[in-house]
Each structure stands twice: as structure tokens, then as C-alpha cells.
Amino acid sequence: MNDNKNLDESDLQSISEIELINRITKSFKTKNDSTILDIGDDAAILKFEKNKLAISQDILVEGVHFDLSYVPLKHLGYKSVVVNISDIISMNIKPSHILVSIAVSNRFKVKALEELYEGIRLACSYYNVDLIGGDTTSSNKGLMISVTCIGNTENNKITQRNGVKEDDLLVVSGDLGAAYMGLQILEREKKVFEVNPNSQPDLSNYTYCIQRQLKPEARIDIINLLEELKITPTSMIDISDGLSTEINHLSNSSGFSFHIYEDKIPISEETKKACDEFKLDHSVAYLNGGEDYEVLFTVSKRHEKKISNCEQLTIIGSSVKKKDDNCMITSLGQKININSSGWDSFN
């Protein structure tokens, strides 16, 4: 067996699957009492009493969901966990466990996978979730990462998409559009680099947008905040595919439509400046961009004062009984139909 230094740079073919799994998961520590048996056997064992489980899975594919020419492997590992945690959070449930499976080509070294799993470990540590298993296999088309996330909750705390009531407030956390503009900036700099490999990009003016793209955070703090405020949303979804798409998802599931107000949409100054630089209307970023991983939810109008006093939450509109009438109302009072033109996996 090679020493650690040589092993870091060795090909994956020179190490067994068991050795690889032991190496990339040795620093993971369990945090949840529900974890009875984690990595190392044929299956993990979890124990829950009187609670319901929420399970979600996502696949990230090189060349489709990420570009390793500008995405560091540690950031990719972190983000792969966050995007799945965000799905569980969007059910108003706290995550507890993940399983990670990867398919990897022989161009990657052992050290590269250690970097990937270090990002996964950091996310597990930050969000207090346990890595309890997964799989590793070979690929002839780069890197693929599949993450399954599990959460559990009491029956009465689950929030689905179909619970919207008439005149509910539509609320969003944080700000929107930054991740999309971060992607535009990174893609632009990649093209510059391809023409001139000696170029040194100055990205200091885009720190926030790039961070939102490369290392997003799931809004578990919002779930904690709503719990403190004793507010149970009537519906909830995370903004992964763009605000327009998520509004239409809520509408299709509930049978209600939504009217939102252009001047209420939260967008950072850096995102606005980036849009102006790219000659893009701000609405392209916040309506269609996606990958913000903020939460979009509805609450009863009686909670308006509580929500208005929260710096991280913005009321952007409300539900209406009329069907197929999702629209944005501009500052001039014009109604613009909201069409689903965000991310589509097969388009």
C-alpha cells in the first residue's frame, strides 16, 4: 500500500473501494441520537418514534449542473448537500441524515475525492446531519453525485405545497437573483480565460454573487425563526428553479393563483449592478435565475405584522381565488403574466 502522500496523487484504480470509502469518510462523526448504525455495514439503521420521515434525492451531473473549470471540488461537495437539505427544509422539516453516491471517471485522483468529501463533511457539520452511507462506482463521463436527504418531524408540522388559502400572504426569504448573476460572471470569465490563459480576472466586485452560486446555504434559520414566531406556513417550496417556476408549482398544487409586486421583490445592490453590466433586466435574474435556495411560502394574513418585523423575510404578494392568473404587477400598475421559464432539467 502506498504512503499517504503518494496515495493522494494515485489513480483510483490503485486503491480498493473499501480503502477509498474508509479514507474519504474517516473524519465524519455522527450527531443524531436516531443514528444507530452508520457507514460500514450493508445498510444504515435509524430509529424514530412516532415521527414521519421526509426523504428527498437529487443528482448533480458534470457538464449539466456544474463546471469543474471554475467550481472547486470542496465547494461542490458542500453545495451537493445544501441543495438536498433545502428540499427537506421546504417541507418545514429539519434534516438529519444523508446518503451520498458518486460515479467518478479515472481522471480523478484520490486527493480530488478527499476534497469533494471534505466539502460534504463541512456541510454535515454545519447543518448537524449524519452521513450514513451511499455508493461509489466508476463513470466514463466525468463526475456524478447523488445525495439522498432524510428528515423527520411530528405529523402536524409538515408543510406541503397544496395548503394555500385565499388571501394568504406570499413571503420569500433573503434576496433573489444573485446566484444566477454569479453564474453569468463565472461563465464570462471562463470564456476570457479560454482566449487568454494568462488573464487574471478581478472578481472582487462580485463576491456576493459568486458566493451565492458556488457556496449557497439552505435556509434552516428560517425554519427556526418560524418556529420561534409560532407560525406554521400553509405552503412552502424552495427556490431552486427560479421564482416564476416555484410560484407556478405552488399554484398548480393548490388551485390558487398569485399576484406579486415588482417593487417588493428583494434583490441586492450587487445583483442589480451585475444585471446592468450584462444589460439584463433585473426581473430576468430574480424571476428565472434559480439556485437561490431561499424559501417561498404562504401564511395567513393574521401573521402580517410578525412577518413584516423580520429583516430576512419579505411579503411579495398574495394568493387569489382566480385560476391561471399568476402575474407580477409593475410599479406602473401593469400586469405581467408569470410564466415558468426557470431551470428545466430536460430543456
130: pLDDT strictly greater than 70:
yes
CATH of 4-157, one of 3.30.1330.10, 3.40.50.2300, 2.40.70.10, 3.30.70.1110: 3.30.1330.10
Q: What b/e readout covers 314-335, taking b as 16+ CB neighbours within 10 angstroms?
A: bbbbbbbeeeeebbbbeeeeee
Q: How far apart are CA 158 and CA 52, in angstroms?
A: 9
What are the start-end ranges of the E strands in the chain?
35-37, 45-46, 52-61, 95-104, 130-138, 144-153, 169-173, 235-239, 257-261, 294-299, 313-320, 327-329, 335-337
User: For the chain, what percent of residues have pLDDT higher than 70?
Assistant: 90
Q: How far apart are CA 85 and CA 199, in angstroms?
A: 37
152: pLDDT strictly greater than 50:
yes
User: Topology of domain 161-337, per CATH?
Assistant: Phosphoribosyl-aminoimidazole Synthetase; Chain A, domain 2 (3.90.650)
Domain ranges in the chain? Answer: 4-157, 161-337
Sequence-distant (6+) residues with CB within 8 A of 4 are: none
Q: How far apart are CA 330 and CA 261, in angstroms?
A: 6
Q: Is the Cβ–Cβ distance between 99 and 44 less than 8 Å?
A: yes
Residues 183-204 have pLDDT tens digits of 999 999 999 988 888 888 788 8
Q: How far apart are CA 184 and CA 268, in angstroms?
A: 16
Q: Is the Cβ–Cβ distance between 124 and 218 less than 8 Å?
A: no
Residues 231-268 have pLDDT tens digits of 999 999 999 999 999 999 999 999 999 999 999 999 99
Q: Tell me what the pLDDT averaged over the chain comes to.
A: 89
Q: What is the pLDDT of residue 201?
A: 78
0.85 exceeded by the pTM? Answer: yes
**Interval 111-126 mean pLDDT:** 96
Q: How far apart are CA 8 and CA 3, in angstroms?
A: 9
Q: Residue 324's pLDDT band (boundaries 50, 70, 90)?
A: confident
Q: What is the pLDDT of residue 44?
A: 61
276: pLDDT strictly greater than 90:
yes
